[in-house]
């Protein structure tokens, strides 16, 4: 086994960290407090190829491997998890499914503007009545001549108010219940209307929107893959997307650990640095150990995906462990900082708020355990419930 990153992987990791330290870290607190989406940031990421890190060069991307992309998400989320989720949904949940399931014409038409960062992407699966039970979605697409007419609503859509391209799921066979009657479409901003911006606990520099689709007309060329195979696209997309969520959680936890460790070196009580006390030492030891464990699970899942090997259970394990670890260890960072940790003077309270959602979106921890249990027991369910923002 070789656990070393390649020179190219270290290069993109270092490039992302340098940009994050210069452009994101100094602004993350103000973005969080003002709930501001940093529109000016994403052209800068695009200039460095980070909006299409793992997209082939022929489609406008940087041509890096999937693990390099996961390193990008980790570094961005270490600086600001709202930026991390924006890039993750744009890449994992929008650009990659078009690249994977699209026709040559669809790939040539839709992927380059996304990979070059000229447009943001969004993934529209969840509805008010279909979260974990995504197969119960009610948005409908009906054929009229050479067009599809799509009507319905979507909820909790990351990038919804900024996206130019939407991977959207609708029921094309109302007579078929569950997942089998669902198809996937590539829609543009003109096809949807933003009805509400969500106020969230964390990730305040990202946008989360409710959408209305009101008789949107889309040509047959907007159908992604085959009619009735949309749920397969959703599941395959989430398999990879969950690795990205694990990377986000990993970045958040690493940021919290970095602050807590520095504070333990500087803060003095009873005439000694608090890092000299065993209680604090053990907390930091547990944090370091769990972060390393999450990193290994995440990188393994990313490597399996880039090798084209099965990674459903491995991605679920990475997301389950990394997200719960991030929630635990951001709380421990607050504990190490004590009263300061509970204030907005230090960023650990933001890390704590940002970490919680990683246990919920792209499949709750309960859903991840279900996915893992099925792999252990050798069971394949025809419909896997999911959650996706």
Q: 114 and 204: one domain?
A: no
Instruction: Tell me: do 129 and 65 sit in the same domain.
Output: no
We report the CATH number of the domain holding residue 219 as 2.40.110.10
Mean pLDDT of the chain: 95
In a domain, 2, yes or no: no
Tally the C-alpha atoms within 13 A of residue 385's C-alpha that lie toward its C-beta: 14
> What pLDDT, in 10s, does the model give residues 176-230?
877 889 999 999 999 999 999 999 999 999 999 999 999 999 999 999 999 999 9
Condensed to tens digits (0 to 9), the pLDDT of residues 103-161 reads 999 999 999 999 999 999 999 999 998 878 888 899 999 999 999 999 999 999 999 99
35 within domain boundaries:
yes
* pLDDT at residue 381, as a whole number: 45
Do 197 and 179 share a structural domain? yes
Candidates 362, 366, 383, 384; catalytic one: 362
Instruction: Say yes or no: 18 and 100 in one domain.
Output: yes
Whether residues 89 and 183 share a domain: the answer is no
Q: What's the CATH code of the domain at 73?
A: 1.10.540.10
pLDDT tens per residue, range 226-260: 999 999 999 999 999 999 999 999 999 999 999 99
Task: Find the domain containing 141 and state its range.
Answer: 122-228
Instruction: Give the domain-ending residue among 79, 95, 120.
Output: 120
- Give residue 385's pLDDT band: very low, low, confident or very high (50, 70, 90): very low
| Domain-embedded: residue 386 | no
Would residue 385 count as lying in a domain? no
Which of 92, 120, 148 delimits the end of a domain?
A: 120
Q: Is residue 324 part of a domain?
A: yes
Task: Answer whether residue 1 is part of any domain.
Answer: no
State pLDDT tens for residues 43-91.
999 999 999 999 999 999 999 999 999 999 999 999 999 999 999 999 9
User: Does one domain contain both 147 and 259?
Assistant: no
Confidence of residue 323 (pLDDT cuts 50, 70, 90): very high
| CA–CA gap between residue 256 and residue 81 (Å, rounded) | 12
220 & 312 share domain:
no
CA distances from 187 to 49, 217, 360 (A): 24, 9, 26
Report pLDDT for 380. 52
Residues 278 and 342 in one domain: yes
Residue 174 scores a pLDDT above 90: no
- Choose the final residue of a domain: 90, 120, 150: 120
Per the structure, the count of domains in the chain is 3
Tell me, yes or no, whether 288 and 351 share the same domain.
yes
Please check whether residues 189 and 243 belong to one and the same domain: no
240 and 372 fall within a common domain: yes
Tens of pLDDT, residues 331-384:
999 999 999 999 999 999 999 999 999 999 999 999 999 999 999 998 654 444
CATH code of 268's domain? 1.20.140.10
Percent of all residues in the chain with a pLDDT value above 70, rounded to a whole number: 97
Shared-domain flag, residues 36 and 149: no
Residue 260 forms part of a structural domain: yes
In a domain, 388, yes or no: no
Active-site residue 366, yes or no? no
């Amino acid at each position: 086994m070789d656990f070393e990153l390649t020179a190219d992987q270290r290069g993109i990791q270092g490039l992302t960290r340098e940009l994050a330290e210069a452009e994101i870290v100094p602004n993350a607190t103000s973005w969080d407090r003002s709930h501001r989406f940093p529109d000016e940031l994403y052209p800068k990421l695009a200039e460095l190829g980070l909006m299409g890190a793992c997209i082939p060069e022929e489609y406008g991307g940087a041509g890096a491997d999937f693990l390099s992309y996961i390193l990008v998400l980790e570094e961005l989320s270490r600086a600001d998890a709202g930026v991390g989720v924006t890039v993750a949904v744009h890449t994992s949940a929008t650009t990659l499914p078009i690249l994977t399931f699209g026709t040559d014409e669809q790939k040539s038409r839709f992927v380059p503007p996304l990979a070059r960062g000229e447009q943001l992407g969004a993934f529209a699966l969840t509805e008010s009545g279909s979260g974990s039970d995504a197969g119960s979605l009610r948005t409908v697409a009906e054929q009229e001549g050479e067009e599809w007419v799509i009507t319905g609503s979507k909820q909790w859509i990351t990038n919804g108010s900024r996206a130019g391209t939407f991977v959207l799921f609708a029921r094309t066979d109302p007579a078929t219940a569950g997942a089998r009657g669902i198809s996937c479409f590539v829609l543009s901003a003109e096809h949807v209307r933003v009805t509400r911006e969500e106020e969230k606990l964390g990730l305040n520099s990202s946008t989360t929107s409710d959408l209305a689709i009101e008789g949107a007309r889309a040509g047959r060329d907007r159908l992604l893959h085959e009619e009735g195979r949309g749920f397969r696209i959703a599941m395959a997309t989430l398999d990879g997307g969950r690795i990205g969520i694990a990377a986000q959680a990993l970045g958040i936890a690493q940021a919290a650990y970095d602050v807590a460790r520095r504070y333990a070196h500087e803060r003095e009580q009873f005439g000694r640095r608090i890092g000299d006390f065993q209680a604090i030492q053990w907390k930091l030891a547990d944090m370091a150990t769990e972060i390393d464990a999450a990193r290994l699970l995440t990188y393994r899942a990313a490597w399996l995906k880039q090798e084209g090997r099965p990674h459903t259970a491995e991605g679920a394990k990475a997301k389950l462990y990394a997200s719960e670890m991030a929630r635990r260890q951001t709380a421990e960072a607050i504990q190490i900082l004590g009263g300061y940790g509970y204030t907005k003077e230090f960023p650990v309270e933001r890390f704590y708020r940002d970490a919680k959602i990683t246990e919920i979106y792209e499949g709750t921890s309960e859903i991840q355990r279900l996915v893992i249990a099925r792999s252990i027991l050798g069971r394949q369910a025809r419909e896997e419930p999911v959650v996706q923002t």
